[in-house]
Amino acid sequence: MTEPVINVRQVVAPLIADAGAVVLVEPVRRERARWMDVLRGSAIILVVLWHSAAILRLDDYVVPDWLIRFNELFASYRMPVLMFLSGTLLARSLSKPLPVYAVGKARRILWPFLLWGLLNYAIHSHAVPIYEKVNWTTPYLWFLLYLLIFYAFAPLLRLLPTTLIVLVTFLVTEVPGLTEDERRFYFLAGFFFLGRLLSERRPLFERIISGRWVWGLAGVVIPFSIVFALVGPWRYYAVLAPFSVAGLLLFIKIARLPMVEQRTGALQFVGRDSIVYYCSHFPILTAVIYLAGKANLAVGLIVPIGFVLALGVGTLLAVGARSALLSWPFVAPFGAHATPRLAILDHPLLTHRSTRPALAIVQFGVSALALTVMIAFGARFL
């Protein structure tokens, strides 16, 4: 059976049309997409592998150059994949009443961010007070902080064309004088809202992924990854986004193969419980390094031991988290019934574009202002 040939105009036209129209998607309830769990699980394992070596450098260990270079092969894809996958679920989240949306994100993102952030602070040196932003923006939990910010602004941005948001956030990375952390915020914001864009344009997404030309992207992704690892790294510039997008499309194509979906149960398990692995792996690695230092273990042993223990203990925690009694480190055990008190958030002016031209202009202005504030927030506080 031959795969459909992509008509370039069919692919590009919906994206251009989005620049002048707002699409509010009402997602259809469907079976969990296993390919998403495959990708999420793969990205989490790569993050754990990266931190298994990178955390040693924070403690002045000499890490073999080949291991650093190997990890850099995946640097252009790890976090963009995780952000993209989170963004693909945004339309479904926004279809819920805003109180449900707000409380859900607070319980499942804000709570573990605060809890594990406090733990991370407790087990490391207290060179600066806990309230200093360095304790919350530079440790590994910055990913959850970014998600919180993107989800917080998303309801105010829903009346803007998603294509515009993606383009603006990517282009801001090229502003001279930005730090790497600031560029990272904007770069990953682009991938978060790119996920929303393609979830809104589902037929377009399916046409892209079904094209056999996606396999040809390997001819771009593999050489770029090698050059990036050997000569780079160059991080979080808009000019690099097309390479990350190419890798993303190729990995989606692979993950959607029936053979891959059927034989990657372990990866899918990690993907389903990614929050557990992400939150827990860094403290586990910290403990491994402390004990390894006491035992004078070589770096060649610390990295594999830390990697295996982080995934092993994470798996035990993931199994335990299926129980309401043991899920509290990852989902807040309170607040599930607080949504009626937040009903004021569900005002139609916040959720639907007005048919009155004057109000519609005001809504667009408010959304544009919210995007500006989000960009300014990234430069000022992150």
Mean pLDDT of 229-253: 94
On whether the CB atoms of residues 339 and 99 are closer than 8 A, the answer is: yes
Alpha-carbon distance 76 to 172, whole Å? 18
State residue 5's pLDDT score.
45
Domain assignment present for residue 31? The answer is no
State residue 95's pLDDT score.
87
Q: Is the pLDDT of residue 91 over 50?
A: yes
Mean pLDDT of 33-49: 97
Domain assignment present for residue 229? The answer is yes
Q: Is the pLDDT of residue 4 over 60?
A: no
Domain assignment present for residue 29? The answer is no
Q: Helix (H, G, I), strand (E, B), or coil: what is residue 1?
A: coil
Question: What is the extent of the structural domain holding 288?
Answer: 8-19+37-381
Domain assignment present for residue 32? The answer is no
Length of the chain: 382
**Is residue 76 exposed (0-12), middle (13-18) or buried (19+ Cβ within 10 Å)?**
buried
State residue 10's pLDDT score.
47
Confidence of residue 11 (pLDDT cuts 50, 70, 90): very low
Domain count within the chain = 1
**Tokens 């510039």 belong to residue:** 237
- Count other Cβ atoms within 10 Å, centred on residue 198: 23
Q: Helix H segments across 321-356?
A: 348-351
Alpha-carbon distance 42 to 26, whole Å? 29
For residue 99, which of 346, 336, 375 has the smallest C-alpha distance? 346
pTM: 0.88
Q: What is the mean pLDDT of the chain?
A: 87
State residue 14's pLDDT score.
44
Confidence of residue 222 (pLDDT cuts 50, 70, 90): very high
* Alpha-carbon distances of 148 from 64, 102, 237, 264, rounded to whole Å: 35, 10, 22, 30
Domain assignment present for residue 75? The answer is yes
* Alpha-carbon distances of 226 from 46, 221, 257, rounded to whole Å: 16, 9, 25
Domain assignment present for residue 81? The answer is yes
Instruction: Return the C-alpha torsion angle 41, 79, 284, 291, nearest 10.
Output: 120
State residue 22's pLDDT score.
38
Alpha-carbon distance 358 to 289, whole Å? 61
Domain assignment present for residue 348? The answer is yes
On whether the CB atoms of residues 112 and 273 are closer than 8 A, the answer is: no
Confidence of residue 99 (pLDDT cuts 50, 70, 90): confident
Alpha-carbon distance 227 to 217, whole Å? 16
For residue 285, which of 263, 266, 265, 303 has the smallest C-alpha distance? 303
Confidence of residue 342 (pLDDT cuts 50, 70, 90): low
State residue 353's pLDDT score.
66
N-to-C CA span, the chain: 50
Alpha-carbon distance 264 to 242, whole Å? 28
Q: Helix (H, G, I), strand (E, B), or coil: what is residue 356?
A: coil
Which has the higher per-residue pLDDT, 148 or 355? 148
Confidence of residue 18 (pLDDT cuts 50, 70, 90): very low
DSSP string, 36-80: HHHHHHHHHHHHHHHHHHHHHHHTT----HHHHHHHHTTTTTHHH
Alpha-carbon distance 212 to 187, whole Å? 28
On whether the CB atoms of residues 185 and 378 are closer than 8 A, the answer is: yes
Alpha-carbon distance 271 to 42, whole Å? 7
Q: Report the percent of the chain where pLDDT is more than 70.
A: 86
Confidence of residue 15 (pLDDT cuts 50, 70, 90): very low
On whether the CB atoms of residues 64 and 299 are closer than 8 A, the answer is: yes
- Tens-place pLDDT, residues 291-300: 998 899 999 9
- Tens-place pLDDT, residues 133-178: 888 887 799 999 999 999 999 999 988 999 999 999 999 999 999 9
Confidence of residue 211 (pLDDT cuts 50, 70, 90): very high
For the ranges 143-147, 242-246, 374-378, which has the lowest average pLDDT? 374-378
Mean pLDDT of 216-234: 93
